[in-house]
Amino acid sequence: MSNEYPSGALANHNLISCIDNLHLQDFDDLTDCTRLATKSADTAHNRFTSTDLWMQEYAVTLDFLGWKLHENAITTRKRTNINGSIAEHLVRSAEISSDSRQGNAMIDTLDALGAEKPAILSLDNESLKGRRFQVAPVRYDAKGDLHMALFNLELVATVTKSSFLFWSWQEQSATLFQRSAFFKLDRQRLNNQRPLMEKNLREITAQRFALRKKRP
């Protein structure tokens, strides 16, 4: 039987990891906003060749939908040489984050993704096998406000591989570049935009995958 609450979601090239059990309305709002921001940024800029401009447009759209960018800043690139799988790297990075729950949440999300072959294929296609993809852990704070950490990732590798997240990369054969941004949701601002959101969502055909970890 599936969990009632998804472990995460895949929308376009965005892999969302739920640290908390999101209320279903918040889950839908989050994935809808992510899809709308991706469409807006893709319309304005090429996500593979104009990343800085693409991310700025993505952040502007999220802000319009009610997601406030922390300190109005997107960080510069961080470089990591990959030895092993990117999935393992994501888990290790989550485990040393300020929220101790993030590692387990990332494990659940990746386990659920690994069991969904259509989702893996969709991520491969949307990201051009890792050339550009995003990982977004989300959580509630003590007041019940929803926060999203967004990591825009670029894989530079000597070869391209299907299921690139789970491929065991050899040292020096793959490098991951990361840009980061942090958002907090203003639900009132989002509610004000719902009519426009609903209109624009009808024009989006890309599939959303709700990821639920299979449990015995």
Residue 107 in any domain: the answer is: yes
Residue 206 in any domain: the answer is: no
Residue 88 in any domain: the answer is: yes
Residue 186 in any domain: the answer is: yes
Amino acid at 57: E
User: Who wins on pLDDT, 207 or 154?
Assistant: 154
Q: pLDDT for 190-211, tens place per residue?
A: 999 999 999 999 999 888 999 9
Give, in degrees to the nearest 5, the angle at Cα 213 between 145 and 31. Answer: 40
10 Å CB burial of residue 5 (0-12, 13-18, 19+) is middle
Residue 176 belongs to a domain with what CATH number?
Answer: 3.40.198
Q: Tell me which H or E stretch contains 36.
A: helix 24-44
Residue 89 in any domain: the answer is: yes
Q: What is the pTM of this model?
A: 0.92
Mean pLDDT, all residues of the chain: 92
How far apart are the two ends of the chain, measured CA to CA in Å?
8
Residue 37 in any domain: the answer is: yes
Give residue 170's domain range: 10-200
User: Who wins on pLDDT, 98 or 87?
Assistant: 87
Residue 144 in any domain: the answer is: yes
Residue 214 in any domain: the answer is: no
User: What is the domain count for the chain?
Assistant: 1
The yes-or-no verdict on residue 63 having pLDDT over 90 is: yes
